[in-house]
Amino acid sequence: MDMQHKSRECLKIMVFSCLFFILLFNSCWQRDPDFENQVWINNETKDSLYYQLTQKYLRENSFINPTDLPPGLKRIGGHYKYKSLEIIGREHDNPGDTVEIYRNGELLIKWAAPFRYMPDSVHHYFNVNSWEIKMGGHDNEWEIATFTITEDDFKQ
C-alpha cells in the first residue's frame, strides 16, 4: 500500500505542476499592446456599425474578424514585427478582398482591395493616404494607424 500511496502523491504533484505551468505560460506570453504597432478604426458616426472583412482567398492568422464598431475608437489589430501599414497591406493584398460596413443590417459601403496609393481626396479604406499614422505605445516607439469612418463615407 505504501508504494501505491507514493504513486498517487507523485501523480498529484505531476498534474498540479502541469496545470501550474500551463496557466503560467498561457497568461505571461500575451503581448502588451504598448509594445506593438497597432491598427484602429475610429467610428465618428453616432451609431454602432458592423465591420466585415471578406477575403477572396482564405489566409492563416487573419488579424481582422467581423466586429461591432461602437462610436469612437476600436482596435482591430496589431503586430510587433510589421509596421502598421504593412499589417493592413499583408491582410489585403488580393483584388477581391473587401471591407463592408453595415448599420442595422444594411450595407452602407463596400471598399475593394488591394491596399494602394490613391489621391488624398479619395477617402477609402484601401487608400494608404486615408490612414492617419502617429507614434505611440511605449516611449512613442510604435506606430498607430487609424482609419476614420464618417457619415460622408456613406453618401457616395
Domains in the chain: boundaries: 1-30, 33-154
Residue 156 has pLDDT above 90, yes or no: no
C-alpha grid cell, residue 59: 489566409
The residues that bridge with 145 in the sheet, in sequence order, are 39, 133
- What is d(CA 151, CA 117) in angstroms, rounded to the nearest whole number? 23
pLDDT digits (tens, 9 = 90+) for 85-143: 777 776 677 778 888 999 999 999 999 988 889 999 999 999 999 999 887 766 667 88
Report the number of secondary-structure helices (H) and strands (E) in the chain: 2, 8
> What is the pLDDT at residue 71?
96
> What is the pLDDT at residue 76?
81
Q: Are 129 and 118 in contact (CB under 8 A)?
A: yes
Residue 61 has pLDDT above 60, yes or no: no
pLDDT digits (tens, 9 = 90+) for 19-38: 666 655 555 545 555 567 78
